Amino acid sequence: MKKLLLTGFEPFLNFAINPTMRIVEELQGKIVGDYQIHSEVLPVDFRKAGKLLLEHVDRIQPDALISLGLAGGRYKLTPERIAININDGEADNSGNVLEDEVIEIEGQDAYLSTLPIRQMVNYLKEEGLPAEISNTAGTYLCNHVMYQGLHYAKAHEMQMPSGFIHIPASHELAIQHGKIPSWSHADLKRGIEICIKVLSER
C-alpha cells in the first residue's frame, strides 16, 4: 500500500475554523484509491510550518504529498499550479510579519505542481463539484508549504507527486464569518477524496 501525506492547517487570521483541519483528521488512516493516508495539521507559522512538513516527509517517507489550505472567499475547489519563492503577508499565528522574504536561497524562483491537477479538475466537475486550476497560491503559508514540499522533492530527486489544493469555506465557518461562500463539509471531504483517487489512477 502506498502512503500519502495529507496536511491541513489550524485556524488563522479572522477564520476561527479551518475546514482543512477537520478533513485531514477524519481521513487519517483511511485508504483512498491506492493510498493509505497519513494526516498532519500544520501551524500557521512561517518559521515552523515548512520545517514540520519536511520532518513529516522524512518520518513517513510518503509516495505522494497533498497539502490543503482554506481560501475563504473562493467558491470552487482549486488545485494550485505554481508555488513561488517568496514569503509575504499578514502576521501569522505567532506574530511573524514577512515582506518579500526568499523561502529558499538556493531554490528556484518557482516550482510547478507535480500533481495531475488538470485531471483532478476535470473529474471533480464530472462528479458535480465546481473546480478550476488556480494560478496563484498567494504568498502566505499555503504557498510557503507548497514551495517547501516541491523544493525538497526536487533537491532530493524524489519521485513524490507533490502539490496544494485550496478549498472554500465550510458552512460552519461561513455562518460564523458571515460574508463568504461555502460548501458542506461532506462535499469538501468528497472533493479531496476524488483528487486522491485521480492521483491513484495516474
151 catalytic per annotation: no
142 catalytic per annotation: yes
Determine which one of 38, 151, 166, 195 is catalytic: 166
d(CA 152, CA 158): 8
80 catalytic per annotation: yes
Residue 70 burial (C-beta neighbours within 10 Å; 0-12, 13-18, 19+)? buried
At 159, is the secondary structure helix, strand, or coil?
coil
Determine which one of 40, 142, 144, 151 is catalytic: 142
Q: In what order do the strands lie in the sheet with 35-42?
A: 31-32, 35-42, 2-9, 64-70, 162-167, 78-79
In sequence order, what are the residues at sequence separation of 6 or more whose Cβ sits closer than 8 angstroms to the Cβ of residue 91?
A: 97
Determine which one of 40, 80, 144, 151 is catalytic: 80
Q: Are the beta carbons of 76 and 121 closer than 8 angstroms? A: no
Q: Would you give the distance in Å from CA 44 to the centre of its chain?
A: 12
Residues noted as catalytic? 80, 142, 166
